[in-house]
Structure formats: structure tokens, C-alpha cells
């Protein structure tokens, strides 16, 4: 049986590993959000509302800073895809997040939200998955697939990862459907967005 001390150490270790692929996304006067290094070569996922119409700068938690190019934006699911302008040495050294299949999630699983709430870099909040499914958007007559958790979110968490108890990313945190609970775009939806943006063949994704 795992003791409470062992569990605490395990959670701290996996958060430390997950933070290696967590970035700060800065967009001028609009403040800072978060992002995740999703693919090798400096491919970063964040929220649409974090970058909006700007050309953001991205920094790692160690302070390394990069200019970016916006590859794709999808307002209806609040996602944006960035490519970091990297040197040859950086292309192979940047840590890429481990991505889990969100279609395998169950209500009640542990979920941890990573980000930079109120400017506190690499902060973590923990909860459980409270519901899975789709929710209507307030500003458009359509629904979006979401993961709901009771992990607390605040300004600065937007675009950061929601991870499971193994440290794998199961969603991207967002605030497009309200502030009452933590909400994330499921990782399988993010993967579909990324693959389409990169021009790759995409298999049908279950809703």
C-alpha cells in the first residue's frame, strides 16, 4: 500500500517533470498565460484568447525566451498553435509533454492543473474530474467537448496543461465556458487540432 508520504512525493515528482514542458506565453499588455510544448521542433499549444491577434513571446521556466510564429487558431475551441523560432541546439533539447488519450478518462480520476495564476510560475492545483461531455458556448450556437474538474483555475492558468496522476497531459485549461469550475479542452480534441494544423492525415475522433 502507498503511504501518504509516498503519494505526496510521487505527485511532486510528476509535477516537476510536467513543468519541464510548461511555458509562459506573453502577449504584450494583455498579460501572460501558459502553454505546453506539444510536439518536437518547438510546437506549442495554448489558448486562442491568450494570444488573440498578437505575436506572442514564449519563455521556459528557466528564463529562456523565444519569438514565435502563429501556425493556427481556433476560436470555437479556444486553441492556438505556435512554433518557436529555435536554434539548432534547442530543436533537440526542448522537453515535449507526454500526452494521454482523454477518451479513456473517467469521472473521479485525479487531475492537476499547471500554470501561472496571478504570475506565480509553475503553480499546481489539484482536484478530480467531475464530468465529461460537451457544453454550449455562450457566444455561439454550438457545443464544445470539455473536461470539468474542481481543480482551481485563475488568470495565468489559461493554456496550461491538465495532467493525470501519471503526469500525462489530458487537456488544455481554458475559461471559455465560465468560472464556476475548472474546464479543459480534452487532449484528443487538441491532437486533432494540431494534426490538422500541421497538415497531417487525421483519423476520425470520437465525440
Confirm whether 164 is a catalytic residue: no
pLDDT category at 104 given cuts 50, 70, 90 is: very high
58: domain range?
4-93
Last residue of a domain, one of 93, 123, 150: 93
The answer to whether residue 88 is domain-embedded is yes
Number of domains in the chain: 2
Tell me which of 21, 78, 102, 187 is the catalytic residue: 78
**Average pLDDT, stretch 184-197?**
96
Confirm whether 150 is a catalytic residue: no
Confirm whether 134 is a catalytic residue: no
Last residue of a domain, one of 93, 115, 134: 93
**Percentage above 70 pLDDT, the chain:** 85
**Average pLDDT, stretch 105-120?**
95
Tell me which of 158, 164, 187, 188 is the catalytic residue: 158
Tell me which of 21, 49, 123, 125 is the catalytic residue: 49
Which pLDDT score, from 0 to 100, does residue 25 have? 96
The answer to whether residue 14 is domain-embedded is yes
Same domain flag for 144 and 178? yes
Same domain flag for 84 and 9? yes
Are residues 80 and 69 in contact, defined by beta-carbon separation less than 8 angstroms? Answer: no
Same domain flag for 119 and 175? yes
Same domain flag for 58 and 123? no
DSSP element (H, E) containing 51? helix 48-51
pLDDT at residue 142 is higher than 80: no
pLDDT higher at 135 or 189: 189
Same domain flag for 76 and 121? no
Same domain flag for 75 and 126? no
pTM here is 0.89
Same domain flag for 144 and 181? yes
Comparing CA positions, the residue from 165, 193, 171 lying closest to residue 115 is 171
Amino acid at each position: 500500500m502507498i503511504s501518504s508520504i509516498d503519494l505526496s512525493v510521487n505527485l511532486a515528482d510528476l509535477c516537476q517533470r510536467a513543468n519541464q514542458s510548461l511555458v509562459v506565453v506573453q502577449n504584450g499588455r494583455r498579460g501572460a498565460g501558459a502553454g505546453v510544448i506539444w510536439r518536437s521542433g518547438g510546437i506549442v499549444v495554448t489558448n486562442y484568447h491568450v494570444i488573440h491577434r498578437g505575436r506572442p513571446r514564449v519563455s521556459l521556466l528557466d528564463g529562456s525566451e523565444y519569438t514565435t510564429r502563429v501556425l493556427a487558431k481556433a476560436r470555437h475551441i479556444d486553441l492556438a498553435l505556435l512554433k518557436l523560432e529555435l536554434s539548432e541546439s534547442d530543436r533537440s533539447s526542448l522537453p515535449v509533454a507526454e500526452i494521454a488519450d482523454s477518451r479513456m478518462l473517467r469521472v473521479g480520476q485525479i487531475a492537476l492543473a499547471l500554470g501561472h495564476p496571478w504570475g506565480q510560475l509553475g503553480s499546481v492545483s489539484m482536484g478530480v474530474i467531475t464530468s465529461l461531455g460537451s457544453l454550449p458556448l455562450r457566444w455561439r450556437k454550438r457545443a464544445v467537448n470539455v473536461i470539468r474538474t474542481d481543480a482551481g483555475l485563475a488568470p495565468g492558468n489559461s493554456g496550461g496543461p491538465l495532467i493525470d496522476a501519471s503526469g500525462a497531459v489530458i487537456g488544455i485549461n481554458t475559461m471559455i465556458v465560465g468560472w464556476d469550475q475548472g474546464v479543459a479542452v480534452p487532449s484528443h480534441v487538441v491532437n486533432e487540432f494540431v494534426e490538422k494544423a500541421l497538415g497531417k492525415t487525421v483519423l476520425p475522433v470520437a465525440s
